[in-house]
Every structure is written in C-alpha cells, then in structure tokens.
C-alpha cells in the first residue's frame, strides 16, 4: 500500500518536472513567472486568474525576480495535484454558463454579446485573448457562436 | 405583486451576478484550453529541434567513420582495393590555375529549344531581375549560364576581404536576412515586400542559402547575380551549410544532380570553390557585426580578417601543417614498403588523413537540454596528441571489432597516430590553414548563444561553442561594437533577441519544419542602427488557419517524424521494456514506458506529456508493450519480404546510407552494382554493430533491384523505404517522382535530416 502511494507521488512529480522543463529555456531550473499559468493548466488544473495569482504568490521568491524556481514550485504543485485542486469544468457546467448568458434561449450568442461579456465581466480578456477566441469560435456566416456545437468540438480536441 | 422596484432590483442583481459568474467560468475554461494548446506547440517544437540536432551529430559520426577508414583500411585483396578505389576516388581537386584555364562553360552549347533565361556577362541589373522572374515562373537556368555565373562569382569573391565593411552613408537602410535553406518563396517574398536590391537598397544575406529546401540552386543564382551587379550594396556571408560535405547529406548535392544531370558534377566542383571564397562576416558602420553562427571566448577578429579563408574548404575537416609534414615523412618510409596504395578520398579535399572532430570526447551527447551541463571548456583544449590519442583509442577498439566481424584483416597495433599508407597524387598540394585559424572559422559558423555565462563546446552540433552573455559583452567591448546579428537557429517568430538585446538571431526561412511551424523575418538598419524587424510567413494557407489548426497540423507532422524514430529503435525499445517487466506479464507502467523511451532515444523530450498522442492502447496505468510496438511497425512497414530488423536499421540510418551511396556512386550515374551495395552494406553494418548474414544482404539487394538488371538505382532503393516520398514532400522536383505525401503540401519539411 505504501509503495502504491509513493509510486503515485513519484509519477506526479515526474509529470511536474516534464511540464516545467518544457518552459525552462535556459535549463537552469527556472521559468518565467508568466509561464506558470500555462504549466499549471497543462497539468490538468483549471484555476481562475485569481487562484493563479495566489498560487504564484506561494511559489515566488520573497523578493520577486520574475522567475520561479523549480525547488519552490515542485512541493506546491505536488500538493495541488494530490488535492486535485482547481478541477476542470465539465461539459454540462460549461453549457449552463453559456445558457446563462443567453436567457432568451436562442442557442447562440452574437459576436457583440460575446465580446461584451468576455471583456467586461468576470476576469476580463485582454484584446489578444478576445481576438483569438473570436477567430476560433465565430461562425462567419451568422456572426455568432453556436455554443452547444462549439463546446462539443472543443471537448473532443481537449481530451 | 410585492414592492415592484425592489423585486426588479433583486432580479437584476441576481442576473448580473449570474452573468458575472458565467463569464468567469467561460474565461477560466478558455484560458485552460489556450494553455494546453501552447504546451502542445512547445512540445512539437522540441520534437523537431531534437530530431534536427540529433541528425547533425550523426553527420559528425559519419565523417569520423570515413576518416577512420581512410587511416586504417588496408585492402588485402584486389577486389577490396578496387572497391575502395571506387568508393574513395575521383579526379583530383583542381588547382586555382586550372580553374582559370578551364573555361568549362564555353564548350557547353545552349540549344535553340531552351526557353529559360539567358545571361550575358558582364551582368546587368536587368539580368538579375529577369532571373527572379524566371525562377518565380519555375524556369531553370541552363548549365552553361550557371557555370559562367559561378565562374564570375568566384573571381569577384576572391577580391573581397574576409570581413566586409559596410556603411550606412551610401545606402540609407541595410536589410539583413538570415537562413533561407533553399526556400525560394521566402526570398521572392522578401524582395516583393522590401524591394529588389539596388544602390539605394543594400542587403546582407547571412549564410545557409542552401540545403533542405528544394530551390537552393535558384537562390544561389539570384544572390550571386545581384552581388555581381551591385557589388557595393549586396553582401553575402558564409554559413555552415556553404560546405560540400554538409551538402552531401542535407539535400543540396542531390538537388544539383537532379536538376543538372549532365553538368551537375562540374557545377558542384565549381561551387566548392565559390563557397570557400565567401566572406566570413560583415560589419556595419564599425558597430554592428553580422556573422552566421556566433562567437567564442577566443574569437579574434583581427586573426579572422587576416587568415586565408579559401584554405578552409570545409569546416567539417581539419589538418595541420605539422601533421602534413609528419605524413610526408611517414609517406616516404611507406612508399618503400610493399603496401597497397590507398587512394586519396575525393571527399576529403585536403587529401590528408585527419583526426576526428576535436569535439568528440567521452560519451555521445544526448539531447540539447542534457548537453548544457556537458563540460568540455573551450578555453583549455587538450593538446593535439592527447585529443588524437583519446579519440583513437575508443574508435580503435570499437572498429577493430567491427573489422574482424566483417572479415577484414585486423588493423596493426601501435601506429603513428597518423600514418597514411597512400601515395600523394597531388604534388602541388593545397596549402593548409593552421589549427587556430580553422577553429576560429568553425566558431563563427557553428556557435549558438546560451543564457548562462561562460563558453563551452557545442556538443549538440558537434562544432563551435555555446557562448554566454559575458562572452558577447567582452567581444563587443573589445572591438567597440554595439550589436551582434547572427542566424543559424530557427525561431518561432523568425527572430529573437538575447544577451540583453546585444545579440539578435534572424532567420528567414518561414515554415521551416512544416507549414505553420514558424515565421520568417528580416531586419532593417538605418543610420541610427536601430533594428527594425519585419516578419512574414510565405504561405497563404497559414493565414487562414486558426492557431488551433496551425498547431495541430504542425503537431501531426512532428509526431509522424517521432513515430518513425521510435520504430527505427524497436529492438532496443523492446529490450528496455523487457528489462522493466520483471514478472514477465507483458505489461509495464506508463512511467516505465516513458523512462524506457528516454533511455533509448535520448532526445530529452517530455514523454509523459506526449504519451496521449503516442499511445492509444493504455489501460489504466499500464501498457501492453509488444502490441504497442507491433502497431508502430504496422504503420511503417511496407515490404513484407524484407526482414524487419534490417528495415529497422536501414530506417534508422537512412540519411547516412543515402550519403554513403552517393559517395560510392562516384560518377553520379545514379546506379551502383549489387556487389558494391553488398560490400558497402557489410562495411557499414559492422561499423554500426548490426548482425546481418550475407544471405540476408543478398536477399535485400535482390529485392531492391526491382527491374532485375543487376544494378540498384538509388531511386529504387530510396523508393523501397519511402524516402523519396519524404523528400517529395519538400516539393516534387528533387527526385523526379510524383509527390505522394498529401499531408505536407507546403515548403519545408519535418525536422529529420
């Protein structure tokens, strides 16, 4: 039993190390703090921006250098994975979120509506983020996002 | 109805809160999606780079192999001697005076049926522009004009100094372009977007014009033409690919021979001459240094300015004056002995037996990442004897065994490190450069910047150094410079600053690995010398793809290349898996799977991240490894009548084999006899430590000879292993066979060498 648990932790840590090294450009066990979000998310977590900031605060140096060291990142991230924090969002929950923005139940959001919600509500998108999402989601013929189909497509991609 | 307004407010508030929460959820989900895309993109990039660099190491190993053969092989029979003769000889490398006398091109007639561009000399700007247009329309320049142009180019280059000095007084803006690698679309795009070269528009092209892409010849023609027409404004630097030895492997030689079947050899020989006369660096306003690779802590611009650059025909091989004196003595002794005369290998133009690459000490480096801690400091090199001895010892031991296995006589003990047993046919021998001079040139053509301070040997490439920001700073201070512009490395955005913005990498071959893999860029400098970068991607299709589509397309390409590599190592992988399957269940954990892959392939890739793309058959945390390997094989194998281990080995070594076959086929007819094929394969397989019976080799040879005429067409061989398909995906011109690979329709190809 003890072996199983250790085996799992060891495997988790190898995963964390791999993900970290992909961004460790200089091969000196540090990554730019701006890449932490990508690393954490690609390890299966789905934190909000606020949660991410808190996490970064935990792994940063006392005097922030702009770089995060692996030695500080590993124990914190191991705990995150063991506790299964920041769980990803299931398909049906995502669907309900879109539906909440579409009270008339039309089945779609217009481009303008999407822009309004994504850039004014929640944790707003930057212009770059907004443009990329538009490019990928808006159906050019209707100038709208048919969210049900969209979600289905994305979920396949995501697995 | 209750108090209307407060209920409305309540509902409004609830709705607002709902909207806020819903938006936050969608954003949170979307950001994770984007992060995963980014991770996939990075992994894909790592795959391409690790395969590319591993290939470059192979190149060095291959040359070590050949130089060892040259040093130690004493043919014991007439057959073997003849075979070696054929394998290693060609006409002597022509001397400079010969080049002047032999106007090869004058006797070549241009037929009336020729519809391509015509050139007359001295060239006029109209000719150069006409060439661009003609090549854009996919015409081919006649061999006569090619040779004439090369001849004039060489004459011009020989007058130029090693380091070109340029000023922004004459033409206000100077445009610097990086690697083009045979991608004509990118060059045409640059001229279209930035304007053609002219007295008002100066250009510097920073090396690596050829190899990999399919239009290297056309690029050279255009660059040389503009250089002749605007000598004050149009400048070229030599890159590490302006080197006939590198060209043998990376596609340029093949391209020339395909496009110019009759005169290709002449063209290639003339090109050797042109390449070695290319300038080494360019300096703008005494402030900006432009060279292809990088620098080392020993870089000495004064030495570089003074040396005879044309003595360095190839940066892959080196010899010293002292060694050649030693050889002259040893030769005199041996001439009297009744040893077989070993012919001088044509592909080692300095016609001397040579020590292996000085960078090969100790274990073969694993991956770009693993190498950073490899410590072979540039600053304290071993003496020549120590180096030589170390390398010889390990190579000796290995090859001794191989030679015996292959049935050749064992090599004698205790020899002079360099004691060639051949007659020097070349009395007016080519003068040699000193070791220091050679090293200086290798450094500037092969080095890469790194983030850490210091300077260490670039074991990944097998040549040059990794240089840190302190090395850059010291060099810039020493020579009162402010910026170093270099190329040599592909970057996703086409450019990258490093070392506190004191080093700029500029790379002009867009979609280098695959359509959508990267942008190209060029940089413009005005009198203020502020770099202004322009990026592009010379493929309309990419603009219409979303980021997700671009990434998955490139990713598919990378994974395909990676799966091929995995297949090529199937036997080794199987034994690694078995080692970890102690209870012989036929299953291993995914963690063990990842560890096994890394220990065999040594590419430093994030296997656990890649696992979902490579393994579809895992159940829980375990994998049935035998069936996984079988599935891998099913994808790759196409001919059942060839033993799969042979196929595997051939696949793994196919770039090397291709190079060897081209060397054997010394008259470049495209044919080698079955006998030569067998002998070569025997030699090669013993060096590479493969147990193959003679019968198998005969079967293999016979099965490859499709039309049963006793000869193997190199194309037959390549076709058998779908190599031509891969090179056709670069563009169907290279080998004359129809492109069948539908997945890669654009320029550039996956990173396998």
Give pLDDT tens digits for A36-45: 999 999 998 9
| B604 and B50 Cβ atoms separated by less than 8 Å | yes
Q: Note whether A100 contacts B18, CB cutoff 8 Å.
A: yes
CA distance B643 to B655: 20
A9 to chain B: nearest residue by CA?
B591
pLDDT at position A143: 87
pLDDT tens-digit readout, B197-254: 998 899 999 999 999 899 999 999 999 999 999 999 999 999 999 998 788 778 898 8
Q: What is the DSSP letter of B198?
A: B
Burial of B751 (0-12, 13-18, 19+ CB in 10 A): buried
Q: Note whether A48 contacts B28, CB cutoff 8 Å.
A: yes
Residues of B in contact with A118 (CB under 8 A): 23, 26-27
CA distance B99 to chain A (A): 48
Q: Note whether B26 contacts A97, CB cutoff 8 Å.
A: yes
Q: Quickly state the pLDDT bin for B503 (edges 50, 70, 90).
A: very high
Residue with tokens 């934190």: A47
Alpha-carbon distances of B687 from B62, B351, B402, B699, rounded to whole Å: 10, 23, 5, 21
Residues 6+ apart with CB under 8 A from B450: A26, B372, B466, B467, B468
pLDDT at position B715: 60
State residue B379 phi and psi, 5-degree precision. -75, -20
Q: What is the DSSP letter of A27?
A: S
Q: What is the arithmetic mean of pLDDT over B530-540?
A: 84
Chain B residues in contact with chain A using a Cβ-Cβ cutoff of 8 Å:
15, 18-36, 38-39, 42-43, 46, 369, 372-373, 450-452, 546-548, 589-591, 594, 606-609
A99 to chain B: nearest residue by CA?
B22
In degrees to the nearest 10, what's the CA dihedral of B346, B349, B351, B355?
-110
Task: Please tell me whether residue A16 adopts helix, strand or coil conformation.
Answer: helix
B44 to chain A: nearest residue by CA?
A22
Q: What is the arithmetic mean of pLDDT over B20-26?
A: 92
State residue B523 phi and psi, 5-degree precision. -125, 140
Q: Note whether A41 contacts B28, CB cutoff 8 Å.
A: no
Q: B507 pairs with which residues across the strands?
A: B179
CA distance B413 to B87: 25
Q: What is the arithmetic mean of pLDDT over B688-698?
A: 59
CA distance B30 to chain A (A): 8
More confident residue, B375 or B662: B662
- Chain mean pLDDT for chain A: 86
Task: Please tell me whether residue B175 adopts helix, strand or coil conformation.
Answer: strand
Q: Tally A–B CB contacts below 8 A.
A: 130
Q: Quickly state the pLDDT bin for B174 (edges 50, 70, 90).
A: very high
CA distance A62 to chain B (A): 23
Within B124-207, residue ranges assigned H as helices are: 125-136, 143-158, 184-194
Is the ipTM reported for this complex over the cut 0.95?
A: no
Q: Quickly state the pLDDT bin for B592 (edges 50, 70, 90).
A: very high
Quick one: tokens of B541?
A: 């299709």
More confident residue, B238 or B681: B238
Q: What angle do CA B115, B117, B122 make, to 5 degrees?
A: 145
Q: What is the arithmetic mean of pLDDT over B119-124?
A: 92
Residues 6+ apart with CB under 8 A from A11: B589, B590, B591
The angle, 0 to 180 degrees and rounded to 10, between the axes of the packed helices B590-601 and B607-614 is 110
Alpha-carbon distances of A3 from B85, B294, B586, B594, rounded to whole Å: 63, 50, 21, 20
More confident residue, B90 or B219: B219
CA distance B88 to B78: 15
Q: Which residues of B587-604 are buried (b: 16+ CB within 10 A; e: fewer)?
A: bbbbbbbbbbbbebbebb
Q: What is the DSSP letter of B510?
A: T
A8 to chain B: nearest residue by CA?
B591
DSSP A120-140: HSSSPPPHHHHHHHHHHH-BT
Mutation to test the B interface, candidates A136, A140, A154, most B Cβ within 10 Å: A136
Q: Note whether A46 contacts B30, CB cutoff 8 Å.
A: no
CA distance B381 to B658: 34
Q: Which residues of B are catalytic?
A: 241
B42 to chain A: nearest residue by CA?
A22
B587-589/B622-624 β-pairing: antiparallel
Within B587-730, residue ranges assigned H as helices are: 590-601, 607-614, 625-636, 644-652, 654-664, 674-687, 694-704, 714-720, 723-728
- Chain mean pLDDT for chain B: 72
Q: Quickly state the pLDDT bin for B180 (edges 50, 70, 90).
A: very high
pLDDT at position B598: 92
CA distance B506 to chain A (A): 18
Mutation to test the A interface, candidates B22, B454, B621, most A Cβ within 10 Å: B22
| B492 and B465 Cβ atoms separated by less than 8 Å | no
Phi-psi region of B182 (alpha: psi -120 to 50; beta: other; left: phi over 0): left
| B260 and B674 Cβ atoms separated by less than 8 Å | no
Strands (E) located in B82-147: none
pLDDT at residue B350 is higher than 90 = no
pLDDT at position B578: 93
pLDDT at position B36: 86
Residues 6+ apart with CB under 8 A from B706: B713, B716
pLDDT at position B688: 53
Residues of B in contact with A26 (CB under 8 A): 450-452
B246: nearest Cα among B153, B139, B347? B347
B452 to chain A: nearest residue by CA?
A26
pLDDT at position B317: 62
Strands (E) located in B379-516: 448-449, 455-457, 465-467, 483-486, 495-498, 503-506
pLDDT at position B247: 84
| B184 and B731 Cβ atoms separated by less than 8 Å | no
Residues of A in contact with B27 (CB under 8 A): 48-49, 118, 122-125
B465-467/B483-486 β-pairing: unpaired
Query: Which range among A99-103, B246-250, B307-311, B541-545 shows the weakest confidence by mean pLDDT?
Result: B541-545
B490: nearest Cα among B750, B233, B707? B750
CA distance B66 to B597: 30
Q: What angle do CA B118, B119, B124 make, to 5 degrees?
A: 130
CA distance B650 to B84: 22
More confident residue, A32 or B11: A32
Quick one: tokens of B381?
A: 């090199």
More confident residue, B734 or B303: B303
Mutation to test the A interface, candidates B25, B45, B491, most A Cβ within 10 Å: B25
Residues of B in contact with A42 (CB under 8 A): 35-36, 38-39, 609
Burial of A128 (0-12, 13-18, 19+ CB in 10 A): exposed
More confident residue, B388 or A48: A48
Q: Note whether B26 contacts A10, CB cutoff 8 Å.
A: no
Closest by Cβ to B609, choosing from A19, A122, A123: A19
State residue B121 phi and psi, 5-degree precision. -115, 145
Residues 6+ apart with CB under 8 A from B370: B602, B604
pLDDT at residue B582 is higher than 70 = yes
Burial of B486 (0-12, 13-18, 19+ CB in 10 A): buried
CA distance B174 to chain A (A): 31
CA distance B23 to chain A (A): 5
More confident residue, B247 or B633: B247
Quick one: tokens of B313?
A: 């025909």
pLDDT at position B31: 92
pLDDT at position B372: 28
CA distance A28 to B604: 15
CA distance B313 to B246: 11
pLDDT at position B61: 54
B610: nearest Cα among B45, B58, B33, B5? B45
CA distance B187 to B226: 13
Residues of A in contact with B26 (CB under 8 A): 94, 97-98, 101, 117-118, 122
More confident residue, A137 or B101: A137
Closest by Cβ to A125, choosing from B27, B42, B547: B27
Residues of B in contact with A95 (CB under 8 A): none
Give the percent of chain B with pLDDT over 90: 35
CA distance B475 to B297: 8
| B277 and B154 Cβ atoms separated by less than 8 Å | yes
Q: What is the arithmetic mean of pLDDT over B622-651?
A: 66
A138 to chain B: nearest residue by CA?
B546
pLDDT tens-digit readout, B260-282: 988 888 898 899 899 999 999 99
Task: Please tell me whether residue B412 adopts helix, strand or coil conformation.
Answer: coil
Q: Note whether A88 contacts B32, CB cutoff 8 Å.
A: yes
| B35 and A38 Cβ atoms separated by less than 8 Å | yes
pLDDT at position B375: 24
Q: Note whether B26 contacts A98, CB cutoff 8 Å.
A: yes
Q: Quickly state the pLDDT bin for B557 (edges 50, 70, 90).
A: confident
CA distance B637 to B643: 10
Mutation to test the B interface, candidates A21, A26, A34, A42, most B Cβ within 10 Å: A42
Burial of B361 (0-12, 13-18, 19+ CB in 10 A): middle
Mutation to test the A interface, candidates B35, B366, B542, B613, most A Cβ within 10 Å: B35
State residue A69 phi and psi, 5-degree precision. -90, 145
Q: Note whether A100 contacts B46, CB cutoff 8 Å.
A: no
Neighbours of B58 (CB within 10 A): 19
B274: nearest Cα among B243, B305, B230? B243
CA distance B255 to chain A (A): 36
CA distance B281 to B260: 31
CA distance B147 to A94: 67
Give the percent of chain B with pLDDT over 70: 59
Closest by Cβ to A14, choosing from B38, B372, B608: B608
Q: What is the arithmetic mean of pLDDT over B108-130?
A: 90
pLDDT at residue B737 is higher than 80 = no
pLDDT at residue B428 is higher than 50 = no
Q: Note whether B33 contacts A88, CB cutoff 8 Å.
A: no
């Amino acid at each position: 039993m003890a072996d199983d648990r250790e085996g799992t932790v060891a495997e988790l840590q190898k995963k964390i190390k791999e993900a970290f090294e992909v961004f460790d450009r200089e091969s000196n066990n540090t990554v730019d703090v701006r890449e932490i979000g990508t690393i954490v998310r690609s390890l299966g977590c789905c934190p909000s921006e606020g949660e991410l900031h808190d996490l970064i605060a935990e792994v940063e140096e006392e005097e922030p250098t702009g770089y995060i060291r692996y030695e500080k990142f590993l124990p914190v991230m191991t705990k995150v994975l063991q506790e299964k924090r920041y769980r990803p969002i299931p398909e049906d929950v995502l669907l309900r979120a879109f539906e909440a923005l579409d009270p008339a139940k039309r089945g779609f959001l217009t481009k303008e509506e999407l822009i309004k919600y994504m850039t004014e509500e929640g944790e707003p998108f930057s212009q770059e983020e907004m443009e990329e999402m538009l490019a990928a989601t808006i159906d050019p013929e209707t100038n709208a996002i048919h969210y049900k189909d969209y979600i289905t497509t994305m979920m396949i991609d995501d697995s | 109805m209750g108090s209307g307004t407060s209920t409305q407010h309540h509902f409004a508030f609830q709705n607002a809160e709902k909207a806020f929460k819903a938006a936050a959820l969608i954003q949170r989900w979307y950001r994770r999606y984007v992060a995963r895309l980014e991770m996939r993109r990075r992994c894909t990039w790592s795959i391409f780079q690790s395969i590319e660099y591993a290939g470059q190491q192979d190149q060095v190993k291959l040359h070590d192999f050949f130089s060892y053969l040259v040093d130690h092989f004493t043919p014991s029979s007439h057959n073997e001697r003849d075979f070696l003769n054929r394998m290693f000889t060609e006409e002597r490398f022509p001397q400079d005076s010969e080049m002047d006398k032999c106007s090869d091109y004058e006797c070549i007639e241009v037929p009336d049926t020729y519809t391509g561009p015509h050139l007359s000399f001295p060239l006029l700007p109209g000719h150069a522009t006409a060439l661009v247009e003609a090549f854009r329309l996919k015409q081919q320049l006649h061999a006569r004009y090619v040779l004439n142009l090369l001849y004039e180019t060489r004459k011009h280059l020989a007058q130029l100094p090693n380091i070109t000095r340029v000023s922004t007084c004459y033409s206000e803006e100077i445009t610097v372009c990086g690697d083009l690698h045979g991608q004509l679309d990118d060059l045409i795009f640059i001229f279209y977007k930035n304007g053609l070269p002219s007295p008002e528009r100066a250009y510097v092209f920073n090396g690596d014009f050829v190899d990999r892409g399919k239009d290297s010849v056309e690029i050279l023609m255009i660059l040389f033409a503009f250089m002749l027409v605007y000598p004050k404004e149009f400048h070229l630097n030599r890159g590490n690919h302006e080197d006939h030895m590198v060209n043998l492997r990376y596609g340029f030689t093949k391209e020339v021979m395909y496009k110019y079947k009759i005169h290709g050899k002449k063209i290639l020989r003339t090109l050797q001459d042109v390449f070695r006369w290319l300038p080494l660096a360019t300096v703008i306003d005494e402030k900006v240094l432009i060279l292809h690779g990088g620098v080392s802590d020993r870089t000495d611009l004064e030495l570089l300015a003074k040396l005879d650059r044309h003595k360095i025909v190839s940066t892959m091989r080196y010899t010293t004056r002292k060694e050649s004196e030693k050889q002259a003595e040893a030769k005199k002794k041996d001439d009297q002995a009744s040893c077989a005369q070993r012919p001088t290998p044509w592909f080692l133009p300095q016609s001397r037996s040579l020590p292996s690459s000085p960078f090969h000490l100790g274990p073969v480096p694993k991956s770009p990442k693993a190498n950073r801690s490899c410590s072979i400091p540039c600053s304290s090199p071993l003496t020549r004897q120590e180096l030589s001895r170390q390398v010889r010892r390990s190579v000796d031991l290995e090859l001794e065994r191989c030679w015996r296995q292959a049935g050749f006589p064992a090599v004698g003990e205790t020899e002079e490190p360099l004691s060639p047993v051949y007659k020097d046919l070349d009395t007016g021998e080519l003068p040699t450069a000193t070791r220091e001079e050679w090293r200086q040139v290798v450094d500037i053509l092969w080095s890469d910047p790194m983030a850490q301070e210091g300077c260490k040997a670039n074991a990944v490439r097998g040549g040059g150094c990794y240089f840190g920001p302190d090395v850059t700073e010291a060099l810039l201070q020493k020579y009162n410079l402010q910026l170093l512009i270099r190329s040599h490395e592909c970057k996703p955005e086409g450019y990258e600053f490093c070392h506190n913005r004191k080093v700029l990498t500029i790379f002009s071959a867009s979609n280098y690995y695959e359509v959508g893999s990267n942008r190209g860029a060029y940089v413009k400098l005005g009198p203020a010398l502020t770099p202004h970068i322009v990026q592009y991607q010379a493929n309309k299709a990419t603009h219409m793809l979303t980021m997700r589509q671009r990434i998955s397309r490139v990713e598919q390409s990378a994974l395909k290349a990676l799966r091929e590599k995995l297949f090529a190592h199937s036997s080794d992988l199987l034994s690694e898996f078995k080692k970890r399957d102690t209870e012989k269940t036929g299953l291993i954990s995914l963690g063990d799977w990842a560890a096994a892959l890394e220990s065999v392939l040594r590419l430093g890739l994030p296997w656990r991240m890649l696992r979902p793309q490579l393994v579809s058959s895992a159940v829980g945390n375990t994998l049935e490894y035998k069936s996984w390997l079988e599935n891998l094989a099913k994808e790759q194998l196409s001919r059942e009548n060839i033993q799969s281990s042979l196929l595997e080995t051939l696949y793994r070594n196919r770039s090397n084999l291709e190079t060897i076959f081209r060397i054997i086929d010394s008259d470049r007819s495209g044919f080698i006899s079955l006998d030569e094929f067998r002998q070569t394969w025997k030699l090669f397989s013993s060096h590479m430590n493969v147990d193959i019976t003679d019968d198998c080799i005969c079967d293999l040879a016979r099965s490859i000879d499709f039309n049963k005429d006793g000869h193997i067409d190199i194309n037959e061989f390549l076709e058998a292993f779908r190599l031509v398909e891969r090179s056709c995906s670069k563009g169907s011109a290279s080998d004359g066979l129809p492109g069948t690979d539908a997945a890669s329709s654009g320029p550039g190809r996956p990173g396998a060498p």
